[in-house]
Amino acid sequence: MTSTLHYDNARIAQQLFNNNPKNLQMLEARLGVKATSRDGWIKLDGDEDGVATATGLFQSLEGAVKAGVVIRNRDFAYALNTVSSDGAEALNGLYSLTLQTSTRMPPVNPKTLGQKRYLEAIQDHDITFGIGPAGTGKTFLAMTMAVIALKEEKVSRIVLTRPAVEAGEALGFLPGDLYEKLAPYLRPLHDALQDLLPMEEVQKQMERGIVEIAPLAYMRGRTLNNAFIILDEAQNSTAEQMLMFLTRLGFNSKAVITGDPTQIDLPPSKTSGIIEAKQALAKVDGIALCELDKRDVVRHPLVQRIVQAYDDHRNGGG
């Protein structure tokens, strides 16, 4: 069966597969459909089911491009894997959510269905747990939602915190005052903010106390009203610290807790707060437990394969 998809111009057609012939080769290997692109059209040759699936794939990608999404190689690969395993309809709505934190910064879009569900959970719940491996966008997407909530005046401040776990190096032996000792642990939160807002705006908001970045221990005794609070690296909070943090939530506030249970740096005698919370809070109304997995990894393609290899090894398959 042969089908030809026509577009307004060659540029649009090329954007659907990032103008990379290897992506079309990957499509052929996965679906058994040969795709050829020239002069504003993509021709598909294969069996009826394969061509139908490929057509649905390109229709979804066309919708994404028209919504302003830039299709990278990883986006094409994810979309192809999704339609191959779950059908073209599985991509419906993935590219409909666009988040803009600043006119000077590029928009943010969920890259996977898991990420979209995570963003929707944050929108709909006062407390959301984002649990999953490195590279799934847990912290970055939570920060995005926090910045937008601040811009829309739904909250009056953002509080970012993480445990200052001594990952192999005692704080006391590091040079500098307390802030300088803690800075390496809080640096990833600074980096994420600067991906969402111009640097001068980040500095201004921090100087005014509208954005606060502090270690988890500094949360004790506080009540956080009208705030969007993010606890990052929560797998390194103890059970006691997690309960302390969750009870800081005040009126008109939202909290997102992110963590990767496979990267716990606590001593064996300590229970991870995120492990206990996942068990204790599973049925509590108003709390979302959102689990991301290796399919949601959006870093270098090798990261996804590394996560899979370690999963296999630890489960006795390696």
What CATH number has the domain bearing residue 20? 3.30.1370
Residues 232 and 159 in one domain: yes
**pLDDT, tens digit (0-9, with 9 covering 90-100), for 81-134:** 888 888 778 887 787 788 888 888 788 888 888 999 999 999 999 999 999 998
Quick check: helix, strand or coil at residue 234? helix
pTM of the model: 0.82
The mean predicted confidence, pLDDT, of the chain is: 87
Residues 74 and 117 in one domain: no
286 falls within a domain: yes
Q: d(Cα 130, Cα 291) in Å, to the nearest integer?
A: 6
Residues 222 and 120 in one domain: yes
Number of domains in the chain: 2
Buried b (16+ CB within 10 A) or exposed e, 23-60: bbebbbebbebbbebeeeebebbbeeebbbbbbbbbeb
Please give the share of the chain, as a percent, with pLDDT higher than 70.
Answer: 92
CA proximity to 91, closest of 68, 62, 133: 62
- Which domain-ending residue is among 93, 124, 140? 93
291 falls within a domain: yes
DSSP conformational letter for 238: B
Higher pLDDT among residues 156 and 182, named by residue: 156
Residues 117 and 240 in one domain: yes
